[in-house]
């Protein structure tokens, strides 16, 4: 079972907002909620619509290639 199954809806909402932000890294989310990058991606996949998830992943991937410290 995933770590995210123990989270309240409020925490899931906070994590989604943090992950969608361009200013919050995966390391910050892990420090605050204990979820690694793979867990955050799985949570986003389960929470967002398919198109929104694909757009988010593309943005994270493209900016990650440009800036070493992004996400």
| Residue 23 DSSP symbol | T
On whether the pTM is more than 0.75, the answer is yes
Is 70 exceeded by the pLDDT of residue 40?
yes
- Residues 41-69 have a mean pLDDT of 88
* Per-residue CA distances from 34 to 4, 6, 47, 59 (Å): 10, 12, 18, 23
In terms of Cβ atoms closer than 10 Å to its own Cβ (0-12, 13-18, 19+), residue 11 is middle
- Residues 2-22 have a mean pLDDT of 89
Q: Can you give the pLDDT at residue 23?
A: 87
3-state SS assignment for residue 69: coil
């Amino acid at each position: 079972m995933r770590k995210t199954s123990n989270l309240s809806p409020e925490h899931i909402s906070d994590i989604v907002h943090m992950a969608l932000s361009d200013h919050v890294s995966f390391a910050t989310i892990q420090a605050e909620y204990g979820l690694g990058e793979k867990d955050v991606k799985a949570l986003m996949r389960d929470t967002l619509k398919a198109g929104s998830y694909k757009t988010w992943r593309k943005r994270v991937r493209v900016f990650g290639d440009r800036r070493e410290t992004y996400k």
